[in-house]
Structure 1
Amino acid sequence: MAAPGTARMENRKRQQRADSEVLLDRDLEDLPPDLRWREWMMRVEAVIFASREPVSREVLARVVGKDCSIDLLVDDLREELRNRPYDIVSVASGWQHRTRLVYGQAIRASAAPTRHISASLSDHEAAVLMTVGYFQPVTRTELTKIFGKEVSRDTMAGLREAGFLASGPRSPTPGAPYTFVTTPHFLASFGFDTLRDLPNMEMLEDAGLLSRHDMAQPDEVEDSTSDEMEE
């Protein structure tokens, strides 16, 4: 049962959302169709621009009419931004403003403070994170078997603190340890819309992040270790 204070806070939030829906005219039926569409576009762009995280379709639906196509709105916005140094991109099952990669060097050269969306990762941390992406839900013990060396608690804690990993369901193995899964922040930080967008093995090898031995299934690594012990 929720604490009384928590329940009051949740009720207040629900009331605020209800009040905002009453105050905001979403359908804009008094406007001509072209002006209505323009206003919807501006609302959608304002919400995406103001948000620190990718904005979902459900969130955007709160500010436009029930018969509005959000996909078409975003398409029109992206067309207007075609000649701008930033774009609206689809990441983590939502949309977010992103600076175009071609201007990355100019931004770095300016030394201007920027809104960082990802922490700086070591090669090992990046490899562990990508492996969780492929094999999730996965335990730390299974990660250790995959890499053939211990993946430390500190490594996993650091990736959790950076917002890339979260606890998954308990493993059916003895002791029922917690597993690790990636988060929407992981998808957004690396520009993935869904986990299906993870790069294939060849791309990871070309980038020098992982090798096929690194990505061997836990059973395969265990078998090879057993063979070595028998020898």
Structure 2
Amino acid sequence: MNPEQLRNIIEAALFAAADPLNADRLQALFDEEQQPSRDTLHQVLLQLQQDYAGRGIELKEVASGFRFQARQEVSPWVSRMWEEKPQRYSRATLETLALIAYRQPITRAEIEDIRGVTVSSNIVKTLQERDWIRVVGHRDVPGRPAMFATTRHFLDYFNLKSLDELPPLAELMDIDKINEELDLRDPSAGQPMGDAAGDREAVGDMDVSHDPSAGQPMGDAAGDRAATEEMDASAESVAEEVDTEAAAAATADDAGAAGYDPAFEPTES
């Protein structure tokens, strides 16, 4: 197979896919005798990224693989194709998600200790239903409480390749200041386009408008996703309530008592 034909097949597959495609899925498109090596696929993907540089769409690598998506800067125009009401998330929901993202694996009781208030079962249920968090084990203490961590879908949703790409807490701003300074009409960089209107929810007092176009993949997957800014803002809100360094140390100590492996990367959905 000549390089141009290979490039066209990969490009078409990425455009048609509803979800990100990794090397295994791309290789599976070909018969064994025509199957490109991973190095060859890598070169094709790099070439496609260069080809789409400076255009309205981009080839983006996230946790689950590669996908085409609309660029963030064109969102104000592309978003006009969707007529949706603002998505609503409570401050408690966002703070809980931020704590799980930054302190995983973490139990519900540990979240409550840091936040100083009870974590509603509905909050945990909401985050699990959106496939943003999952149970990854149980703490070796009386009652064996479940430990929560984020999923690969969480990384894909927030346009992240790994947890290492989470912004440092020190760089985050107060949530109220973000609401004042940012236009949250395009919060979901890197998320799927399509039938986003069918999946939204109102839980609490925070309006976060959902734009299914900003940085969205070109497949048919639904774009019901919250902003990366939401998570960033909530993390800072948590940081204002507690000494984050102390919280991290406490969680690390607990994880050690439970036999937790620091090399664990809890992103598989």
Residue 66 of structure 2 corresponds to 95
- Paired-residue identity, %: 24
Corresponding position: 1:59 with 2:50: no
Q: How does 1:77-156 map to 2 (within 5 A)?
A: 77-111=48-82, 121-156=89-124
The CA deviation at 1:46 is 2.3
Number of equivalences:
182
1:218 is displaced (CA, Å) by: 7.5
Report Cα offsets for 1:133-156 as digits up to 9, x if no partner.
111111111111111111111101
Superposed CA deviations along residues 76-98 of structure 1, whole A, max 9, x for unmatched, are 11122224311110111511111
1:203 is displaced (CA, Å) by: 2.6
Residue 172 of structure 1 is aligned with which of 140, 150, 159? 140
Amino acid at match of 2:138: R
Give the alignment of 1:216-227 within 5 angstroms.
Answer: 217=247
What CA distance in whole angstroms lies between the structure 1 residues aligned with 2:51 and 2:250? 51
TM-score normalised per structure 2: 0.61
Go from structure 1 to structure 2 and tell me whether the alpha carbon gap of 1:204 and 1:140 turns closer, same or farther (over 3 Å shift).
same
Paired AA for residue 65 in structure 1: P
CA distance in 2, matches of 1:70, 1:83: 22
Separation in structure 2 between the aligned mates of residue 109 and residue 217 of structure 1, nearest angstrom: 42
- TM-score by length of structure 1 reads 0.70
Residues in 2 aligned to 1:92 and 1:122: alpha-carbon distance in whole angstroms:
26
2: distance between equivalents of 1:96 and 1:45? 10
- Would you say the 8 A contact 2:103–2:248 is kept in 1? no
Unmatched 5+ stretches in structure 1: 1-27, 29-35, 114-118, 222-231
Structure 2 CA distance for partners of 1:67 and 1:166, relative to 1, 3 Å: closer
Instruction: Name the CA distance, whole Å, in 2 between partners of 1:67 and 1:148.
Output: 49
Q: Which residue of 1 aligns with 2:267?
A: none
Helix, strand or coil: the match of 2:60?
A: strand
Structure with the bigger RCO (C-alpha within 8 Å, sep 6+) is 2
Whether the aligned pair in 1 keeps the contact of 2:23 and 2:38 (CA below 8 Å) is no
C-alpha displacement of 1:107: 1.8
Larger radius of gyration: 1
Query: In the alignment, is the contact (CA less than 8 A) between 1:132 and 1:138 conserved in 2?
Result: yes
In 2, the alpha carbon distance for the partners of 1:128 and 1:74 equals 36
Tell me the equivalent position of 2:5. 39
The equivalent of 1:181 in structure 2 is 149
Alignment correspondent of 1:14: none
On the 8 A contact 1:133/1:182 being kept in 2, the answer is yes
1:119-143 CA distance string (max 9 Å, x none): 7644332221121111111111111
Deviation at 1:52, TM superposition (A): 2.4
For 2:83 and 2:56, how far apart are their aligned partners in 1? Answer: 16
* Aligned CA distance change for structure 1 residues 103 and 62 (closer, same or farther; 3 Å): same
Deviations 1:52-89 (A, max 9, x none): 22222222222342365222111111122224311110
**Worse-matched range after superposition: 64-73 or 144-153:** 64-73
Instruction: Pick one of 156, 160, 165 that aligns with 2:128.
Output: 160
- Distance in 1 between residues matched to 2:159 and 2:64, nearest whole Å: 11
State how far apart, in whole Å, the 2-side matches of 1:173 and 1:47 are: 48
Aligned-residue CA RMSD (Å) = 2.5
The answer to whether the Cα contact below 8 Å between 1:45 and 1:77 also exists between their aligned partners in 2 is yes
